[in-house]
Structure 1
Amino acid sequence: MLKKGKLKLPDGLGILVPGFDHKEEENGGSEPIFESGEELEIMEPNGVELGRKENEYEFDDLGVNDRVGDKVDAFRTRKRPDKDRSGQVSVMDVIAADERRSDLEYEFSQKEINLEKVKRIASMGVPDGVGLRATAWKLLLCYLSPSRNAWEKELTENRQKYAKLKEELLLSPSAYTRVRADAMISAELSREGDVAGPLKRQGISHGDHPLSVGKASAWDHYFKHTEIAEQIDRDLQRTHPDMKFFSGKSSFSKKNREAMRNILLLFAKLNPAICYVQGMNEVLAPIFYVFSTDTDEQNALNAEADSFSCFVRLLSDSVDHFCQQLDNSPVGILSTLSRLAKLLKENDEELWKHLEFTTQVKPQFYAFRWITLLLSQEFNFQSILRIWDSLLSNPFGVQDMLLRICCAMLLCMKSRLLSGDFAANLRLLQHYPDINIEHLLRVAQDLNADTSSYSLSM
């Protein structure tokens, strides 16, 4: 867990991020029984076809040591299937989704929302449409309070504070100076009764000059982030390239990428010790997509501001994984990978021994990306949204559910892993096949939520 104060946010952020300052069912509908080592059949994913990613990241080297500065430089482009294959949805699935939709609509209409009930419903998957997922995620990330009457005030204040942060940190010094000067002139004219007078020349101090190299110069700080901005732009260009929402030359996709660029660059400036790490764009993508496609027009127009705060909240539980200096600490990525290995050992020692000693496929060879990017590179986009419903609604936290899903991914491929060698197993885990996501999540949820005593229901 992130210690309080790890993400350094200015006082102006206020309540934007509170807490920093303080197999389908068979046999008559019975539940399928999972046996340890049972491999899930490869199935066509259900749901709306949102597009298959052509380019994704994988590791250049089989480890976590290839980094540049404080940033992970361990991703490269890899090929995935050209497109998703649409599967069939059973009548029972449709009925269940309708029931969850009705339950959530009812909960969201109450003056005081029962968060525990929202978590239970969301853990089974938030139905698409009518903005339910956007509202549910904002509640699950504590961006919205359970009191519905407070939402309008909270959203207005948070969005205004985000706009102020953008003005102060993303505008060039000269543009910011002009904005401030215009504001002062407008205020002065208002006080003088709008009486026209001679224009006043605005002075520029030495520290405000673009050629100033002083450490205190606003331009020096501005230019230092140029390289980061360029890296963000490159990564955004390959974010879900088959989805028109993110990719292409249309004004629509360009506008979306610009908004995501603002969020990532602002995060980097507010957190210089972590800055921007390649792959953060993939973590942001589901949040921004869900909020931007909210059926509430006002919420959709403010998706950028809402996404920023929720992105920060989501990373607060895993940001230490991006920091090289903390790799060997109790909160670093190596410690988390060790927890995954321990979890696998306690649930299936045979598979653990085969991976750890026989083929020597260590968790850092495949699970580094799984964990740091919250599985956003392993499945099609619709499946990612479903998985995140479970991650965000887990009562024990995102990281707890994330490790259980990662362990379930290994258990569900047991027979193939036991018959494979190093190369085959590494290829399988770095290019995880399409499977029944609901079955995978049931396996993960069957693991004990207590990370100190995981057990698999038989």
Structure 2
Amino acid sequence: MKNYKRNNPEEDWRNKDFNIASLDSRFNLSPRLAKGLGIPGKILLTRTASPNFQRSFSYNEAGTSYQTTPAVQEKVLSTSKSFVIASVDKLKISTPFVENIYKEVHMGARATDSTRVMKFTKVLSGTTIILERLRELAWSGVPDHMRRTVWRLLLGYAPSNSDRREGVLRRKRLQYLDYVSQYYDIPDTERSDDEINMLHQIALDCPRTVPDVAFFQQQEVQKSLERILYTWAIRHPASGYVQGINDLVTPFLIVFLSEYLEGGIDNWSMSDLSSDKISNIEADCYWCLSKMLEGMQDHYTFAQPGIQRLVFKLKELVRRIDEPVSRHMEDQGLEFLQFTFRWFNCLLIREIPFHLVTRLWDTYLAEGDALPDFLVYIFASFLLTWSDNLRKLDFQELVMFLQHLPTQNWSHRELEVVLSRAFMWYSMFNNSPNHFVR
């Protein structure tokens, strides 16, 4: 454990294996990780032909000139179906097939709360949970009060057999406490230099986690994040702590806190909880984060090859679905890696309003081991929400727009459209992997 070496994203970008040389030489790329900013995927982009465009972007920066107008919002909702069908027609796939998928996914998302609760209750009431059925239901959204139970089951943290569930959770929570005692609750004199540096970086990043939500600014919340992240990093030395993983803990923290705190998140206080309850919440977050990242380890190992691979697939998928947008971005010299790195690193948490994140993660967790590949389709759908806009923007405007996507007024409706399109494209393309090859 003392030989731990922290994966530094800035070094990853500079490393020859990261293949920076393959990017357009007109750009100067430098991740905004230095000087305490720590924003993975937020790239300082400069174009030598445009010396006046030298600005950088921080997560909190406001005042973007691109706001979601009513016309744009209506465009997103009213044209998503025809946009997909037009794309499908090019591939000679039957329009009725696509309409049926669109109807099934959209109707599922709009099912009444009582109907959804009844379906979940029936599945969860069995002595042994049928996980495939639970995944099918969870894909279109989980009732809020059931989410903590469903997530534990989907991730395999809680066993599907109800007779074993309480005992397993008790044992895993005690195991987490032992890890904290062994790795976190020790003096710095017992840590290696790399471990001290890692703990320092985590301590810097925790206050920057979801800065627009006041709850995460509570000292007790940040301390819990610090314990979870440091313990996870020590127990997973192949990747260690990578900036962005701090964001991935937040949906779990909110969901498991909801078991003990009532009302809206704006009124929550960690000081209202006993140390035992906080410990249980942290343990659940730790184990669920571990389970989720098991199939995505190469997203966070040195040079992050998993993200590089998925960015390539995303670029090829967008080219196949919307060639005019793909060609325009290429003509403008904008590389997908420059704006999608953060999407893959933080799983869109920084791109949409935080109140929509848990709904998005219902679908993520329902996908299980298939999630990394399905992210490509979700991100393609997310990007092409603004297909018409993107084709009208020059390089500088593209950078501004993609760094400040107008999602601040999004509701569940817009998110469901994104997920519906992703499901349709996945159904059309997933059995034809050659579409990723020129």
Common fold by TM > 0.5 = yes
Cα distance in 2 for partners of 1:301, 1:164 equals: 11
Retained in 1: the 8 A contact 2:183–2:234? Answer: yes
CA distance in 2: counterparts of 1:306 and 1:394, whole angstroms: 20
Aligned residues: 332
Match among 332, 335, 340 for residue 359 of structure 1: 332
Matching of residue 126 in structure 1 with residue 128 in structure 2: no
- The match for 2:352 is 379
For the residues of structure 2 that align with 1:308 and 1:75, how far apart are their CA atoms?
31
State the match for 2:388 in structure 1. Answer: 415
Letter in 1 for 2:312: S
State how far apart, in whole Å, the 2-side matches of 1:97 and 1:416 are.
35
Q: Is the 8 A contact 1:292 1:301 kept in 2?
A: no
Larger Rg: 1
For residue 296 of structure 2, the aligned residue among 303, 318, 325 is: 318
Deviation for aligned residue 1:62:
4.5
What secondary structure is seen at the aligned counterpart in 2 of 1:302?
Answer: helix
| Closer, same or farther: CA 394–367 of 1 in aligned 2, 3 Å | same
Identity %: 27
User: What is the aligned partner in structure 1 of residue 232 from structure 2?
Assistant: 267
Q: Which amino acid aligns with 1:230?
A: H
Please identify runs of 4+ aligned residues in structure 1 that moved more than 4 A: 55-58, 92-95, 295-301
1:147 alignment counterpart: 161
Q: 1:304-350 CA distances to partner (integer Å, 9 max, x unpaired)?
A: 011101111212222312233454xxxx3222110111111222222
Other structure's SS at 2:215 match: coil
Question: Structure 2 vs 1, CA of residues 405 and 220 (structure 1 numbering), >3 Å: closer, same or farther?
Answer: closer
C-alpha distance in structure 2 between counterparts of 1:448 and 1:264, whole Å: 33
> Which residue identity is paired with 1:346?
R
RMSD: 3.3
For 1:413 and 1:60, the matched residues in 2 are separated by 21
CA change 1:80–1:413 in 2 (3 A) is same
> Which residue of structure 2 lines up, in the alignment, with residue 235 of structure 1?
205
The residue aligned with 1:340 is 314
Paired position in structure 2 for 1:160: 174
Aligned with 1:294: secondary structure? Answer: coil
Q: Offset at 1:111?
A: 0.8
Distance 1:137 1:376 in 2: 17
Which residue number in structure 2 is paired with residue 281 of structure 1? 246
Q: Distance in 2 between matches of 1:294 and 1:410?
A: 34
Shift in alpha-carbon separation, 1:170–1:314, aligned structure 2, 3 A: same
Residue in structure 2 matching 1:112, options 101, 105, 128? 128
Q: Please list every run of 5 or more consecutive structure 1 residues that lacks an aligned counterpart in the other structure.
A: 1-7, 9-54, 64-73, 175-209, 211-218, 248-252
How far has the Cα of 1:95 moved from its partner? 5.8
Say which of 417, 422, 432 aligns to 1:444.
422
- Per the TM alignment, residue 420 of structure 1 is displaced from its structure 2 partner at its CA by 1.1
**CA distances 1:58-101 after superposition (whole Å, capped 9, x unpaired):** 524359xxxxxxxxxx994342589x9xx9xxxx9886233212
Verify the 8 A CA contact 2:39 2:243 in the aligned structure 1: no
Structure 1 distance, partners of 2:191, 2:225, is 24
- What's the secondary structure of 1:442's corresponding residue? helix
**Unaligned residue ranges in structure 2 (runs of 5+):** 5-37, 47-55, 74-107, 262-272
Cα drift, residue 295 of structure 1? 4.9
Counterparts of 1:234 and 1:422, CA distance in 2 = 33
Taking the aligned partners of 2:420 and 2:358, their CA distance within structure 1 comes to 16
Cα distance per residue 1:399-456 (max 9 Å; x no partner): 122111100012221100111111212222222222411111111111124545279x
Distance 1:349 1:445 in 2: 20
1-side partners of 2:308 and 2:317: how far apart? 14
Q: Is the 8 A contact 1:291 1:307 kept in 2?
A: yes
TM-score normalised by structure 2 residue count: 0.68
Is the deviation greater in 444-453 or in 261-270?
A: 444-453
Matched, 1:370 2:348: no
Residues 84-103 of structure 1 mapped to structure 2, 5 A cutoff? 96-103=112-119
